[in-house]
Amino acid sequence: MNTQRIFALARRVMRQILRDVRTVALLVFAPMFVLAIGAVLFRAEPARLALGIINEDAGVSLPMAGEMALGARIVNTLAEGNVFELVPLDQNEIDERLRDGAVEGVLILPADLSAAFQRERQVTLDLRLEGSNPSRSTLITARVTEAAMKTFAGLAASGALPGAGSAELPVRINATHLFAGETFDTLDFVAPVYIAFLALFFVFLLTCVSFLRERSQGTFERLMATPVNRIEIVLGYMAGLGLFALLQVAVILLFTVWVIQINYLGSLALLFVIVALLAMVGVNLGILASAFARTEFQVVQFIPLLIIPQALLGDVFWAIEDMPAHLQVVARFMPITYANRALRDVMLKGWGLAEIWPNLAVLAGIAALLLVLGALTMRREV
């Protein structure tokens, strides 16, 4: 082993990297960029949960403590924390308000609530949940249970109703879901975003690398010396790579549906259309990105700038509504946001084209915009 040679090699490698200013800048700024987004998201307090309340509790007269309305007490406890925003509702508008997103859950406090509790020291509360986001459903259920337990503990402590919190399970929550439902497990809920992210990522890489190879092997210059124009090149690439993108989309979808056997509602064909549109966005984004890269290495550097933020901000792990306002603005520019929304609407809510077309229109618009930008930024002078 010759240390001099190793030293010379190391020096050469360092020199090469330093000469690529962008790589150095990226080494410094890319982690900061990604960390900053993650930090903001992890710290962000979730927005208050909108909970519909139907309180029909008639209350009871207690021998020693006089009137007691358990329903009103639970509602007060729920209102105390900073968790819920309570919305009084009527029986007949439960599903309607859940559907239009005015509330994420509805707690029903029946007329005989206080009476039943006095009799049995145990109640079962009906909680109707929107259901398409399992982490929200779990959160709402847990917080409602917590508030009810706290109410009963308070009752027992005040002596108004001895033994109020003594039953093993004083509260049971009977949760029902408007969408999806109990047969859906966590995988079913994350599958839509998983599919979308994979499709976008692989297609982006495939496009970048094949486009960059055109430049590095010198054929791009030769291509520019023919009558073919830039929009034709972009469309040709889109068609050629698009075919493989569609093949990949089909593989991802069919594998998740048939092999992993996720539960989903809605039509498989519509899912294919959504992911295919997103894949087209990936192709066009790849073409655009390659215009700003000289080497394959520089293309890989676009991943922390273009792909990771989409994973963080595109409604994948964090709900957009829970993000700070400035990040919400960024999230609305992420194509994956719209794909995720459409996929969730179809897979978890069973919605059709009539409901999801605005998201598809945005996706198609983004794909077209990237196509034009890709053609405009393609450098003639290589």
Partner 1 sequence: MIMPIVTEQLRKHFGALRAVDGIDLTVHPGEIYGLLGPNGSGKTTLIRLLVGLLRPTAGLAVVLGHAMPNKATLSQVGYMTQAGALYDDLTVRENISFFAAMCGGADRARVDEVIALVDLQERAGSLVRTLSGGMKQRTSLACALAHRPRLLLLDEPTVGIDPQLRAVFWSYFRRLADDGVTLVISSHVMDEAERCDRLGLLRQGRLLAEGSVSELRAQAGTATLEEAFLRFAEGGNR
Give me the residues that bind partner 1 (CB under 8 A), please: 217-219, 221-229, 380-382
For partner 1, the closer CB: 215 or 349: 215
For partner 1, the closer CB: 93 or 296: 296
Distance CA 282, CA 206 (A): 9
Pairing of strands 49-55, 84-88: parallel
For partner 1, the closer CB: 223 or 257: 223
Find the farthest-apart pair of alpha carbons in the chain and give their distance in angstroms, rounded.
97
Residue 25's alpha-carbon distances to 296, 301, 308, in angstroms, are 17, 11, 17
- Across 45-191, where does the E strand assignment appear? 49-55, 60-62, 66-68, 84-88, 105-109, 123-129, 171-177
CB 204 within 8 A of CB 306: yes
For partner 1, the closer CB: 101 or 236: 236
For partner 1, the closer CB: 153 or 382: 382
Distance CA 360, CA 309 (A): 21
Q: How far is the CB of 291 from partner 1 (least distance, A)?
A: 16
For partner 1, the closer CB: 16 or 229: 229
For partner 1, the closer CB: 228 or 372: 228
Distance CA 76, CA 68 (A): 13
Q: How far is the CB of 380 from partner 1 (least distance, A)?
A: 7
Q: How far is the CB of 143 from partner 1 (least distance, A)?
A: 59
Q: How far is the CB of 202 from partner 1 (least distance, A)?
A: 20
Distance CA 231, CA 287 (A): 11
Q: How far is the CB of 207 from partner 1 (least distance, A)?
A: 17
Pairing of strands 49-55, 105-109: parallel
Distance CA 199, CA 187 (A): 17
**Helix axes of 353-377 and 335-347: crossing angle, nearest 10 degrees:** 160
Residue showing tokens 């198609």: 364
Q: How far is the CB of 230 from partner 1 (least distance, A)?
A: 10
Q: How far is the CB of 303 from partner 1 (least distance, A)?
A: 25
> What count of residues does the chain have?
382
For partner 1, the closer CB: 61 or 229: 229
SS (H, E, C) 138-168: HHHHHHHHHHHHHHHHHHHHHCCCCCCCCCC
For partner 1, the closer CB: 158 or 219: 219
- Could you count the other beta carbons within 10 Å of the beta carbon of residue 326? 9
For partner 1, the closer CB: 159 or 218: 218
Distance CA 271, CA 254 (A): 11
Q: How far is the CB of 219 from partner 1 (least distance, A)?
A: 5
CB 380 within 8 A of CB 224: yes
Task: Name 46's bridge partners.
Answer: none
Tokens, residue 185:
């497990």
